[in-house]
Amino acid sequence: MKHTIDLHTPELQRTFWEMILLEELVDEYNAETIDRLATNGETAFPDDPFFKVVRAYPLIREGELDQAKRLVDEASLLGDHPLIHLMNGHISEESGFTFEAEQHFLRAVERYPDVPMPRRALAIHYFNRKFYGESGLHLLHYVRLAGFADDTVSMLLEFFQVFDDVPLEMNEELTRVALNYLFAHPHDPRAHSLYAQLCSSRVSALTGQLNEGEPLTDEMIGLLLEVEDHGMWSATYDHSSDKVFRTMFKEYVDNVILPNTSRYYVTHLQIRYWIRRLTYRFTGGYSIHSN
């Protein structure tokens, strides 16, 4: 095979600018950076719809929907891109046209079934409408396309907190993958929290198979201990501004552990938790063999 592509090849250059710009479409966006990068792209590729439609993102976030719509329409005259449909969907959502937004997102998925972003948009759209089955389907497609990463793990965690009726065979495979992710990211509170949530879901499913008055099995007890331990680890590693994982652990202790154990057990658990928080930086924290 003859070498034909280098760093100055137009296709590689265009893909580079698109990659960099897509990384800017986050909650903590920088409008000036998006504008600068889009200008670079438009200068090199004036007929590419992506570099025009991407400018709509900060306008939508700032409520300038008419200006955003104008840019999206101008971009659509140059060609098609999944972001055109997604921006139209977000404009419709912000304008209160829920069904119209859904149609834009569905059109993006239909035209670009192997692009992660439309799946993500639909998963969030349906989740906000409390269509959890539809949300879960597109969320799993999103994870399939994008892999386990910070964003997908956070979305899975939020999903399983409200929709935990997962068949046992699916739970088993999800738990296996989540555990692999945890081993690769042992200091990530989301990884611990997702694994704990899946363990809790498995306990719920197994409990439903018990006869009335039948005690918990050793497997269930072991899973509950995993929920407790990894909930504690997620709280330990929680450095977020809103301390959501510490709040979740406290609520689990108050609402689940305390009513089913004793004040003595909870006090002992709290001592373990504070020892862990005070010493994990010196001990190395969680490891595969620390559980």
pLDDT number for residue 242: 92
Q: Output the domain CATH number for residue 81.
A: 1.25.40.10
Residues 199 and 272 in one domain: yes
Residues 89 and 156 in one domain: no
Domain end residue (candidates: 54, 86, 112): 112
Residues 108 and 160 in one domain: no
- Alpha-carbon distance of 209 to 228, in angstroms, equals 22
Q: Is 76 exposed, middle or buried (0-12, 13-18, 19+ CB in 10 A)?
A: middle
Supply the mean pLDDT for the chain: 92
pLDDT band at 288 (very low <50, low <70, confident <90, very high): low
pLDDT number for residue 10: 84
**Per-residue exposure over 245-260, b if at least 16 CB sit within 10 Å of its own CB, e if not:** bbebbeebbeeebeee
The single-letter code of the amino acid at 22 is L
Give tens-digit pLDDT for 222-234.
999 999 999 999 9
Domain end residue (candidates: 112, 134, 161): 112
pLDDT number for residue 213: 86
> Is residue 130 situated within a structural domain?
no
At residue 13, does pLDDT exceed 70?
yes
Residues 174 and 291 in one domain: yes
Against a cut of 0.85, is the pTM above it?
no
Residues 157 and 283 in one domain: yes
pLDDT band at 289 (very low <50, low <70, confident <90, very high): low
Q: What percent of the chain has pLDDT over 70?
A: 98
Give tens-digit pLDDT for 263-274.
999 999 999 999
- The domain total for the chain is 2
Residues in contact with 234: Cβ distance below 8 Å, sequence separation at least 6, in sequence order: 189, 190, 192, 193, 196, 245, 248, 249
Residues 55 and 100 in one domain: yes
pLDDT number for residue 135: 94
Residues 97 and 164 in one domain: no
Q: How many CA atoms lie within 13 A of 180 on its CB side?
A: 8
Residues 152 and 258 in one domain: yes
Higher pLDDT, 50 or 240: 50
> Is residue 137 situated within a structural domain?
no
pLDDT number for residue 282: 87
Residues 32 and 156 in one domain: no
At residue 115, φ and ψ (nearest 5 deg) are -100, 125
> Is residue 125 situated within a structural domain?
no
- Alpha-carbon distance of 99 to 104, in angstroms, equals 9
> Is residue 256 situated within a structural domain?
yes
At residue 134, does pLDDT exceed 80?
yes
Tally of CB atoms within 10 A around 132: 15
Domain end residue (candidates: 112, 137, 167): 112
- Alpha-carbon distance of 182 to 193, in angstroms, equals 10
